[in-house]
Amino acid sequence: MFNTKNIDELIKKGLADEAFPGAAISIGDKNGELFRATYGFRQTIPQELPMEGETLFDIASLTKLFTSLVALKLVQDGKLSLGDTLSKFFDAPSDKADITVKHLMTHTSGIPAHEHVYNLVEKPADAPTFILSLELLGSPGDTVVYSCLGYILLGKICEKLGGDTIDNLAKKWLFDPMGLTSTAYNPDKNYTFAATEFDTVTNAWLCGVVHDENARFLEGISGNAGIFASIKDMAVFASMLVNKGCIGDKVLIEKDLFEHAIKNLTPHCPEGRGLGFEVKSDVLISCGNNFSVGSYGHTGFTGTSLWVDVETSLYVVLLTNRVHPTRENVKHMPFRRELHDLCAAEYTKM
């Protein structure tokens, strides 16, 4: 039996230490969910509102996992190749013409991590051209530079080849087949939301509006961020990742392709990267020490994470609103490593 007492106590300690105002967690493996719980508050300012089981979280860069699977679906269908270059899809300058889809997905394109696109271009349609005008931080393929901007481009490529916007592609190919009933870009306002930061433009706390400024500028629909989801839905998504592209008898991504996506494709770099996935090497990262080398997952700026242990099939989904009331709070980072270490330790005792 999976003992959750110590895990429960650790999360309550994280709340007391103000690592985050609220949290939701799901832990499971290939056989199903072992534990799910919610804690604390979905909002503390201007009033305290309790976290609920159906509360939607801005999952931030966990969105990139969904974008990656949309891209893999296009690869599977023969519409996209990992070797396709940016010059095939954009009027790319010479230094970026040979950047490939694989470079974008492994964050080895050399495209900078972030830039205030929302302040530097007039309209969303201009974003790709602006991103392609930026100076590269290194030669494509040389090293990992985690790039939200690269994933904005990947989302646009998916839209060109899929013939629809990335939100509709994700709904048609991922959300609906998995039965993710509350997962969405620009979600219905009838849900309760985990609040993030204060928006000085609207003079309101962001609830149900994407926190990432570039994604917000792109009307809430982007390859890098924008998805909102409940812990219930993210547990289903994690189960699909554990089962390597399958949900029940449905095959979303063929096993061989999925297996390739979760390999460390950047062994020459300190940071392990697959096709959209962070892959644990021997460097200490957010899944701590006790998850196996080769484990795969991702994190999100708002305080979200999802990790799968490649050897045991243990998964841990942690959703928090650590950016409420401010993004300056980074206490979640050591907490997250401690949590994963504890989950893995308790799992081995079963």
**Mind giving me the DSSP string for 226-290?**
-EEE-HHHHHHHHHHHHTTTEETTEESS-HHHHHHHTS-S-TTSSS-B-SS-EE--SS--TTTTT
Q: Do 23 and 39 meet the contact criterion of CB atoms below 8 Å apart?
A: yes
Whether the per-residue pLDDT at 282 is higher than 90: the answer is no
> pLDDT band at 1, cuts 50/70/90?
confident
Q: Residue 57: what pLDDT?
A: 99
Q: Is 328 exposed, middle or buried (0-12, 13-18, 19+ CB in 10 A)?
A: exposed
How far is CA 19 from its chain centroid? 20
Distance separating alpha carbons of residues 199 and 114, to the nearest angstrom = 19
- What whole-number percentage of the chain has pLDDT above 70? 100
Does pTM top 0.95 for this prediction? yes
Confidence check: pLDDT of 145 > 90: yes
Burial 64-99 (b: 16+ CB within 10 A, else e): bbbbbbbbbbbbbeeebebebbbebbbebeeebeeb
pLDDT tens-digit map of 57-81: 999 999 999 999 999 999 999 999 9
Q: Band of the pLDDT at 249, cuts 50, 70, 90?
A: very high
The chain-wide mean pLDDT, for the chain, equals 97
Model confidence over 291-307: pLDDT tens digits?
999 999 999 999 999 99
User: To the nearest whole percent, how much of the chain has pLDDT over 90?
Assistant: 98
Please report the domains of the chain, with CATH numbers, ordered by start residue. Answer: 5-348 (3.40.710.10)
**Contact at 8 Å (CB) between 201 and 213?**
no
Closest CA to 276 of 254, 298, 295: 298
CA distances (Å), 186 to each of 23, 93, 170, 177, in order? 21, 33, 13, 19
Going across the sheet that includes 184-185, the strands are 57-58, 227-229, 184-185
d(CA 280, CA 350): 24
Residue 284: pLDDT over 90 = no
The residues with which 251 forms a beta bridge, in sequence order, are 246
End-to-end Cα, the chain, rounded Å: 5
CA atoms within 13 A on the CB side of 248: 5
Report whether pLDDT(166) > 90: yes
Residue type, 35: F
Where does the pLDDT of residue 219 fall: very low under 50, low under 70, confident under 90, or very high at 90 and above? very high
Residue 57 bridge partners (DSSP): 229
Hey, what are 100's tokens? 């490939």
